[in-house]
Amino acid sequence: MSDAALAIAPAGVAEHAHAAIEVRGVSHHFKLSGAKLAVLDGIELSVAPGEFVALLGPSGCGKSTLLRLIAGLEAPTSGSILADGESIRKPDPSRMLVFQDPTLFPWASVWKNVATGLEARGLLANQRRRVDEALALVELKEFADAFPHQLSGGMAQRASLARALVNDPALLLLDEPLGKLDSLTRLTLQAELVRLWQRNGFTAILVTHDVEEALLLASRIVVFSDRPARIKQEFRFEKPYPRHRDDAELVALRRSILGTLGLAT
Amino acid sequence: MSEAAVASATVSDPLAAVRGLWRDGVLAAVAWAAAALVTIGLPDVVPWGSVGLFAAVTGGVAAILLALSPFVRRLGHAGEVLVHYGPWLVAVGAWLALWELTTAKFGWLPKPFFSPPHGILNVYVTDGQRLLICIGYSLRLWALGFFSGVVVGYAVGVALGWSKQFSYWGMPLLKLIGPVPATAWIPCTFYFFPTTFGASIFIVALASGIPVAILTASGVGSVNRAFYDVGRILGADSWYLIRKVAIPASTPHVFVGLFMGLYYSFAVLVVAEMLGAKYGLGWYIQFQTAYSGYANVYAAIVIMAVLCAGIVRLLFAVRDRLLSWQEGFIS
Ligand SMILES: Nc1ncnc2c1ncn2[C@@H]1O[C@H](COP(=O)(O)OP(=O)(O)O)[C@@H](O)[C@H]1O
Ligand SMILES: [Mg+2]
């Protein structure tokens, strides 16, 4: 926690925490009115420390479920998931999950929402500054005392991001975090995500339904099949940031990814 | 409008002074003066006492209203409140005059079943001391019963809403006991509590605690699961989730239960005080009814209504403070 605590501070460009994730033969099913609903089918996935991976797939195929398993909110029916070689059994503050809905606590101010993680672990008293810094990082300093219902959708999602980042996670799981925002706000926040990722050095796994978003942010795209989700194909590419959507290579990639998704035109 | 514009309007418009007048205030003054005149001018069919005092009070109100009428718009917030309640002031004055006529003056609604307003005033004058003691006793019983009921009901509600095991055994019991009026438990209550006072507190506590328990349980049980997921991701343990997620998230439900409990507690308070208490508004009402002291009964009812309304108002203020975070909440 010692060095990691500095990662959010402007000066702390030194060592950043980033986790390696191993998903080994993970299958998962839910019990739905007695019947088994298979959701994940033999997922094998390795994510290197500091990597930015995007997951694409048809709606309802099991992407959110996979993120919940990696976060440790639920245990897989079979297979195992390792973070830095250790089996994931329960949620841990080093692995943060950001949902599509900001799910801020409506009864608490933005500041208190962002402080939740530190408070829950009894660290808040010594580290109040980190909350201010996290708010500054997502440009919400003036809204520290506002209540969530007073924020716009984009601001609420930035607050939700700050609430995750203040814990200086080694792994950031993003479940369609920009899915409900208007396109202009989405563009801004995409750039912001890249900036935060480059600066803090966490490992990022992003679920999105937007192929373009995946191409702009990730260095690897994993495409899933229909439910139960299997990995259909992976696309690796190196491109410096900031990227441009009309870059020839990305446009070509986009076409072949859409083809894999069965959406080629 | 600029000040200059206002000034020129005053000069050029001879009706300006009349326009600035608070019309409802003048009407209310007339109504209250009528009540005063009726009271002092016509004889009582049967004497009630305090005629002069009541006439003085209503006449005084009339004088104040009349005096305020030209200035009321310059009184700021207090003036706005007065103007808002203007029609009510008119209605109350007219109502008092009518009430005097039908009861004391014409005797259409006869003694002892009905009392004119000055008859009720006379009760406060002659029996004020005893009524004050009764208010004290009633408030003590209500406060002890209500607060102990709410504390226990709230704790039980949180446990029921949070713990599956607690809910498995507790919820069916609560659903069985809940609809039974608290007063139905009087016989066994008397067996279990050594004193009448203890039994009365228990009845009031039961009446206020059960709705709080039911609504708290449903509130805690219906908290959006995603909030718990967020809490767990952020490293919260169960105790933190209860304190910082379940409890604040369920507060709107809890207040519904508190308001229900408040009304039930008032309703059973009177009954509880009839169980052999020596003082209290409920006891006073029962005692005076037995002696056909209906004016005294009305006097006690008025006090009760005012007390209850005051406490409800207080609870609303507390709720507005605690729930100011809710979307669309006007505060
Ligand atoms: N807790 C649950 N119980 C039962 N079924 C669930 C549960 N969570 C998700 N599912 C089902 O699992 C499937 C995959 O869901 P999800 O992982 O949310 O898909 P997506 O890829 O759209 O994020 C869906 O059919 C959904 O209905
Ligand atoms: Mg999903």
Give the pLDDT confidence of A171-202 residue by residue, as tens digits: 999 999 998 888 888 888 899 899 989 988 89
Judge whether residue A11 has pLDDT over 80.
Answer: no
* Contact of B265 with B145, CB cutoff 8 Å: yes
* Contact of B48 with B103, CB cutoff 8 Å: no
Distance A65 CA to ligand 1 centre (A): 6
Summarize the confidence of residues A14-40 as an average pLDDT. Answer: 86
CA distances from B57 to B9, B39, B60, B67, B282 (A): 39, 11, 5, 15, 28
The DSSP 8-state label assigned to residue A231 in this structure reads E
Backbone angles phi, psi at A207, to 5 degrees: -95, 130
Q: Which residue's CA is the closest to the ligand 1 atom numbered 1?
A: A30
| Atom of ligand 1 lying closest to residue A63 CA | 21
Q: Which structure tokens are listed for B68? A: 């305020």
- How would DSSP label each residue in B105-128? IT-SS-TTT---HHHHHHHHHHHH
A89 contact B CB<8A: no
Q: Which residue's CA is the closest to the ligand 1 atom numbered 16?
A: A62
> Which of A103, A107, A163 has the CB atom closest to B248's CB atom?
A107
Q: Which residue's CA is the closest to the ligand 1 atom numbered 6?
A: A30
Which H/E stretch holds residue A37? strand A35-47
Q: Which structure tokens are listed for A172? A: 């950031």
* Contact of A92 with A151, CB cutoff 8 Å: no
pLDDT digits (tens, 9 = 90+) for B33-69: 999 999 999 999 988 989 999 999 999 999 999 999 9
For residue A234, list its beta bridge partners: A222
- Minimum CA–CA partner of B236 in chain A: A120
Mutate one of A92, A100, A116 to test the B interface: name it (highest B CB count within 10 A): A116
Residue at token pair 């809490």: B231
Mean of pLDDT over chain B: 90
The DSSP 8-state label assigned to residue A210 in this structure reads -
Residue among A184, A161, A197, A246 at smallest CA distance from A52: A197
Chain A positions in Cβ-Cβ contact with residue B240 (cut-off 8 Å): 120
* Contact of B141 with B203, CB cutoff 8 Å: no
Summarize the confidence of residues A35-58 as an average pLDDT. Answer: 94
Which residue among A26, A27, A39 has the greatest number of ligand 1 atoms within 8 angstroms of its CB, and so is best to mutate? A39
CA distances from B25 to A93, A242, B58 (A): 66, 72, 14
Residue B244 and residue A97: Cβ atoms within 8 Å? no
Judge whether residue B17 has pLDDT over 90.
Answer: no
pLDDT digits (tens, 9 = 90+) for B199-254: 999 999 999 999 999 999 999 999 999 999 999 999 999 999 999 999 999 999 99
> Which of B226, B236, B244 has the CB atom closest to A99's CB atom?
B226
Indicate the Cα dihedral angle A98, A103, A108, A109, nearest 10°: 60
Residue B244 and residue A116: Cβ atoms within 8 Å? yes
Ligand that lies nearest to the alpha carbon of residue A56, given by its number in the listed order:
1
Report the relative pairing of strands A231-236 and A220-224 from DSSP bridges. antiparallel
How many Cα atoms within 13 Å fall on the side-chain side of residue A259? 9
Judge whether residue B8 has pLDDT over 70.
Answer: no
How many Cα atoms within 13 Å fall on the side-chain side of residue A10? 5
* Contact of A217 with A166, CB cutoff 8 Å: no
Report the relative pairing of strands A52-56 and A220-224 from DSSP bridges. parallel
Q: Cα B253 to chain center, whole Å?
A: 21
Backbone angles phi, psi at B276, to 5 degrees: 100, 20
Residue among A206, A121, A204, A126 at smallest CA distance from A167: A121
Chain B positions in Cβ-Cβ contact with residue A99 (cut-off 8 Å): 226, 229-230
Q: Which structure tokens are listed for B281? A: 């508004």
> Which of A96, A103, A147 has the CB atom closest to B226's CB atom?
A103
Judge whether residue A9 has pLDDT over 50.
Answer: no
Residue among B331, B319, B274, B284 at smallest CA distance from B127: B284
For residue A203, list its beta bridge partners: A171
Count of pairs with CB atoms under 8 A, one residue in A, one in B: 65
* Contact of A168 with A8, CB cutoff 8 Å: yes
Summarize the confidence of residues B184-201 as an average pLDDT. Answer: 87
Q: Which residue's CA is the closest to the ligand 1 atom numbered 24?
A: A60
CA distances from B45 to B39, B107, B156, B261 (A): 12, 6, 58, 44
> Which of B224, B233, B244 has the CB atom closest to A91's CB atom?
B233
Distance A67 CA to ligand 2 centre (A): 9
The rounded distance, in Å, linking the Cα atoms of A232 and A260 is 8
Q: Which structure tokens are listed for B34? A: 């009528």
A93 contact B CB<8A: yes
The CATH code that applies to domain A3-103+169-260 is 3.40.50.300
| Atom of ligand 1 lying closest to residue A61 CA | 21
The rounded distance, in Å, linking the Cα atoms of A124 and A142 is 20
Chain A positions in Cβ-Cβ contact with residue B247 (cut-off 8 Å): none
Cα angle at B198 between B193 and B200, to 5 degrees?
110
**What pLDDT, on the 0 to 100 scale, is given for residue A180?**
82
A117 contact B CB<8A: yes
Q: Which structure tokens are listed for A138? A: 């997502």
**What pLDDT, on the 0 to 100 scale, is given for residue A19?**
87
Q: Which structure tokens are listed for B91? A: 């209605």
A147 contact B CB<8A: yes
One-letter amino acid of A51: E
Residue among B79, B70, B85, B65 at smallest CA distance from B21: B70
Residue B230 and residue A92: Cβ atoms within 8 Å? no
Mutate one of B224, B234, B238 to test the A interface: name it (highest A CB count within 10 A): B234
Distance A222 CA to ligand 1 centre (A): 19
B129 Cβ contact list (under 8 Å, min separation 6): none
Of A72-86, B9-23, B96-110, minimum mean pLDDT range: B9-23
For residue A32, list its beta bridge partners: A35
Q: Counting Cβ atoms within 10 Å, is residue B28 exposed (0-12), middle (13-18) or buried (19+)?
A: buried
> Which of A92, A101, A149 has the CB atom closest to B226's CB atom?
A101
pLDDT digits (tens, 9 = 90+) for B307-317: 999 999 999 99
* Contact of A88 with A81, CB cutoff 8 Å: yes
* Longest Cα separation, chain B: 82
User: Which domains are assigned to chain B?
Assistant: 3-116 (no CATH), 128-326 (1.10.3720.10)
Summarize the confidence of residues B177-202 as an average pLDDT. Answer: 87
**What pLDDT, on the 0 to 100 scale, is given for residue A185?**
84
Which residue among A26, A64, A173, A232 has the greatest number of ligand 1 atoms within 8 angstroms of its CB, and so is best to mutate? A64
Residue A167 and residue B235: Cβ atoms within 8 Å? yes
Distance B176 CA to ligand 2 centre (A): 41
The rounded distance, in Å, linking the Cα atoms of B96 and B30 is 12
The rounded distance, in Å, linking the Cα atoms of A246 and A122 is 48
Summarize the confidence of residues A198-207 as an average pLDDT. Answer: 93
**What pLDDT, on the 0 to 100 scale, is given for residue A3?**
42
How near does any CA of chain A get to the CA of B265, in Å?
29
Identify the band that residue B18 occupies on the pLDDT scale cut at 50, 70 and 90: low
What pTM was estimated for this model as a whole? 0.83
Q: Which residue's CA is the closest to the ligand 1 atom numbered 23?
A: A64
Chain B positions in Cβ-Cβ contact with residue A172 (cut-off 8 Å): none
Indicate the Cα dihedral angle B227, B230, B234, B236, nearest 10°: 40
How near does any CA of chain A get to the CA of B325, in Å?
5
**What pLDDT, on the 0 to 100 scale, is given for residue A52?**
96
CA distances from A176 to A173, A181, A223 (A): 10, 10, 15
Summarize the confidence of residues B146-173 as an average pLDDT. Answer: 95
Backbone angles phi, psi at A121, to 5 degrees: -100, 5
Residue at token pair 């990995």: A231
Ligand that lies nearest to the alpha carbon of residue A41, given by its number in the listed order:
1
**What pLDDT, on the 0 to 100 scale, is given for residue A14?**
37
